[in-house]
Amino acid sequence: MRIRGLLLSAALVVAGLVPASATMRIAEDRGGQIGQYLQAYALLRSSGENVVVDGNCLSACTLLLGVIPRDRICATERARFGFHAAWMPDQDGRPVTSPMGTQALWRIYPSSVRKWINRNGGLSRKMIYLEGRALSGIVPSCSRSTRQEQASSDRRYLPRPVRYERANAASYRR
């Protein structure tokens, strides 16, 4: 249901009903289905919105690193990206690794992210976390000095940042 909110927000921006200079804030996103995230991020990319990661961005949420231009993403000191291999539920609802889904993730991530993933054990069932100093080498910081100077001139034109959260993966099962 939250992904629909993201899609609606992006569609409103594309339609010109919301200013393109809006900011999407990701605070706690546990991920979900790859296809839904790709669709939502494609709309977000075309909207011109910036993205602030200010908490967990896990699983399919991490696709934003390969879909949204780097100059439109920043991470706060609380930001944390979690990567793992793609999976699908089997007939009994148990997770089974999806080689095709994992390959899709791999192709979408930028080379800097792929290199970090390789140095940290690769994509497997175990979640690996990119945060802190390692993250700052891949995603620009939302430091007050640079972002605040930029935002101070745009503040009067920007709506309040959009906050959203994802439901856990179990809510996507049918």
Can you read off the two tokens belonging to residue 140? 């620009």
Question: Whole-structure pTM over 0.75, yes or no?
Answer: no
Q: What is the 3-state secondary structure (H, E, C) of 85-136?
A: CCEEECCCCCEEECHHHHHHHHHHCCHHHHHHHHHCCCCCCCCEEEEHHHHH
Which is higher by pLDDT, 9 or 122?
A: 122
For residue 21, name the pLDDT band (cuts at 50, 70, 90).
Answer: low
Q: Would residue 59 be called left, alpha or beta, if left means φ above 0 and alpha means ψ between -120 and 50 degrees?
A: left
Which is higher by pLDDT, 161 or 7?
A: 7
Is pLDDT at 173 greater than 60 in this prediction?
A: no
Q: Are 63 and 34 in contact (CB under 8 A)?
A: yes
Mean pLDDT is lowest, of 4-13, 38-47, 54-63, 98-107, for 4-13
Instruction: Report all structural domains of the chain as residue ranges with CATH numbers, in order of start.
Output: 2-11+22-158 (3.90.226.10)
Average pLDDT in the 17-35 region?
Answer: 81
Give the tens place of pLDDT for each residue, 126-137.
Answer: 999 999 999 999
Is pLDDT at 156 greater than 90 in this prediction?
A: no
For residue 22, name the pLDDT band (cuts at 50, 70, 90).
Answer: confident
Mean pLDDT is lowest, of 4-18, 32-46, 131-145, 152-166, for 152-166
- Cα–Cα dist 166/63, whole Å: 14
